[in-house]
Structure 1
Amino acid sequence: MLNRFFKALMAVVFFCFSVNSFASAEVNSADPYELIKTLADNTFSAIRANKDKLGDTSVSRRIIRTELLPYIDNKYAALKVINQNLKQTNEEQRNRFVSAFTDYIIATYADALKKYTTQTAEVQKPNKVDTDDGFTSVKVFVKEAGAPDIEVIFKLRKNKKTGQWKIYDMVAEGISLLSAKQSELSGLIRDKGIDAVSRQLNEHVAATATK
């Protein structure tokens, strides 16, 4: 199951990874279905254009930061990871954690770029979105020759001020990436403190940059 989950994660990275200089369509963040569909459609030409450079960690991370991060609600996700420890932190500590967590996610996604195989994607047909709720989900079916389809669910949140949708979580094989990170990090925050965990994430990002 975990192997299929990480295959899905790899594929999701590419669905979200869009290099606009190679794309014919602009990303419409006002519609969650168009957002996911356009990112998926733009992905594979961008991957082909950069395939010889993806082994360079600095290049792959720069691509993720520039092209993927604008469509990720990284602050919301980071605060969800802090979870019940929120009251034991101050604004400065939270800001440092958001920055460290963002770099950690970028490093995770950039590493997945190097493992791309042959997956393709099919985005579900649009359903009516409850604009009052501010949350929705979009299904993507990951397809690979000789293997069963994997259903990936993107969870999106609408910014009430801008009207733009951003991805804050994905669920593959019944496993939520956000929940997994909550399980991994919230206990560490409780036991070691948020500053120690922020340093740990920064150390991980720095260490993996040299590999």
Structure 2
Amino acid sequence: MIGSCWRGPLTGALLMLAGSLAGAAAATQGPQQRVIEATGRVLAALEHQAPQFEQTPARIDARIREIVQPHFDFVRMAGWVLGKHWHNATPEQQLRFGHAFRQVLLSSYAATLRAYRGQGIEYLPLRADPAGGEVTVRSRTLQPGRAPVVLNYTLWERDGRWRVYDISVDGISLVANYRTRFAGEIKAHGLDALIMRLEQHNRTGEPLQ
């Protein structure tokens, strides 16, 4: 997704976070409770449905779209990633970039899901006051024989629901990483060229260099 050092822990963490939460109780849950419950639900689904996913990889994409899209603010993520270029973009460019960027993320989740083998998760005290409308949910993904991966999820409250708009792995922000990477490409080749490259990646499945 952003290089081999990100692909496994980052996309796996995002996928685990984005479990399906239904009903009125989900809408009123605090951000950390949403993360904890979502993680448990998705891990259980992966454990019970892994054989079916391995036999029919296309089901992975459908499952990811089902559980992820309602719980992430892809529009805000796209806007933050492009920065000033988002505000200077036409509505059509915003729409095309947002769609292409979302597909890039979802494709990475699918790749992670195919290789998923299970990890333990430890949650740390919540950072910031939920009453302020923005929080960081901190956790550590435990890996046997290796140092834990520190995963921080940044959520904000919109329309009474908490949604993720950034995640960092060992202090490295997803949004900041893409923002820096894409800024150089836009400066060199323009926003349309970046959009076309992402769209080409989504059509062909070629690695995103």
TM range, smaller chain: 0.7 to 0.9
Match of 1:176 in 2: 173
Could you say which residue in structure 2 is the equivalent of 1:11? 12
Cα pair 2:20 2:38 within 8 Å, conserved:
no
Q: Which moved more, 1:86-95 or 1:34-43?
A: 86-95
Distance 2:82 2:11 in 1: 25
Supply the distance in 1 between the matched residues of 2:57 and 2:18 (Cα, whole angstroms): 15
**1:10–1:115: 8 Å Cα contact kept in structure 2?**
no
Structure 1 184/59 Cα, relative in aligned 2: closer, same or farther at 3 Å? farther
Q: In 1, distance between residues paired with 2:140 and 2:27? A: 21
Aligned AA (1:11): G
1:41-80 mapped onto 2 (5 Å cutoff): 41-55=40-54, 56-80=56-80
Structure 1 unaligned blocks of 5 or more: none
In 2, are the aligned partners of 1:137 and 1:155 still within 8 Å (CA)? yes
CA RMSD of aligned residues (A): 2.5
Match of 1:89 in 2: 89
Shift of 1:118: 2.9
Q: Which has the larger share of helix?
A: 2
**Structure 2 vs 1, CA of residues 150 and 203 (structure 1 numbering), >3 Å: closer, same or farther?**
same
The answer on whether the counterparts of 2:30 and 2:130 sit within 8 Å (CA) in structure 1 is no
In structure 2, distance between residues paired with 1:139 and 1:3: 22
- Which of 188, 203, 208 in structure 1 is aligned with 2:205? 208
Are 1:105 and 2:105 matched, yes or no? yes
Cα distance in 1, alignment partners of residues 176 and 5 from structure 2: 17
| Equivalent-residue separation in structure 2 for 1:5 and 1:29 (angstroms) | 32
Normalization by structure 1: what TM-score?
Answer: 0.83
Structure 1 match to 2:117: 117
Aligned partners of 2:40 and 2:166: how far apart in 1?
20
| 2:160 is aligned with 1:163 | yes
Whole-Å separation in 1 of the counterparts to 2:81 and 2:60: 25
- Residue 175 to residue 199, structure 1, CA distance change in 2 (3 Å): same
Relative distance call for 1:185 and 1:140 in structure 2 (3 A) is same
Unaligned runs of 5+ in 2: none
Query: Structure 2 vs 1, CA of residues 42 and 183 (structure 1 numbering), >3 Å: closer, same or farther?
Result: same
Percent of aligned positions that are identical: 20
Distance 1:178 1:57 in 2: 28
SS of equivalent residue, structure 2 residue 205: helix
State the SS of the aligned residue for 1:52.
helix
The alpha-carbon deviation at position 97 of structure 1 amounts to 0.9
TM-score norm. by structure 2 comes to: 0.84
1:202–1:124: structure 2 CA closer, same or farther, 3 Å change rule?
Answer: same
Q: CA separation in 2, counterparts of 1:182 and 1:207?
A: 23
